[in-house]
Amino acid sequence: MSDAFGVHGAVVARFLDQVRRASTGDWRRYLEAVAGQPRGARREVLRTLEPRLGAAVETAVDRAADEAHRSLRLSSDRFPGVEARFIALHTDVITAALVLAAGDTLGPHARQVLLQPLADAGFEAAAHALPGSEPAA
C-alpha cells in the first residue's frame, strides 16, 4: 500500500500506523501542543499549502488518513479543555499525511508548523520528517 503514497510512502504508512495505535493521551498531548502554537501560525501555513502530489497519490493518502482517523472512534468528551481544537483533528491527520507524502518539496517552515506538534506528542514518523532531522525512509 505504501507505493500508492508516492516517493515518501514508507513514512506515510508508518505515520498512519502510529495514528491507529495512538492513545487518548497521545492525542491530548498533540492537541495541547497545537494549542501552544502562536495564534494563526497553522492557518497561515494551511492557506499556502500546496503539496504538489499527483492526483492518484493525493487521493490515496487522503483516503488512508481518513480511514486511520475514523478507526480511532474518538469523541470530544475525552478531551475536556481542548474540545474546540479536537474538531480539527480529522483534518490535521489528513494534512500531516499529505505533508509527509510531499517530503522536502514543502518548505521547512510549513513542515515545522504542521509536524512539530505531532513530534511533541510522540509520533516518530513526524519527528523524523522535521527540518534538520535524519531523513525518513
Whether 69 maps to a domain, the answer reads: yes
Q: Which residue from 77, 74, 109 is spatially nearest to 93, judged by alpha carbons? A: 74
Decide if 133 is inside a domain.
no
- Per-residue tens of pLDDT for the chain, all 137 residues: 678 999 999 999 999 999 999 999 999 999 989 888 887 888 888 887 787 888 999 999 999 999 999 999 898 888 888 887 888 899 999 999 999 999 988 989 999 999 999 999 999 999 999 988 855 44
Is 137 contained in some domain? no
Model pTM score: 0.89
Evaluate whether residue 136 is within a structural domain. Answer: no
Domain total of the chain: 1
**Among residues 98, 115, 90, which one has the least CA distance to residue 52?**
98
Percent of the chain with pLDDT strictly greater than 90 = 59
Give residue 26's domain range: 2-128
**134 lies in some domain:** no
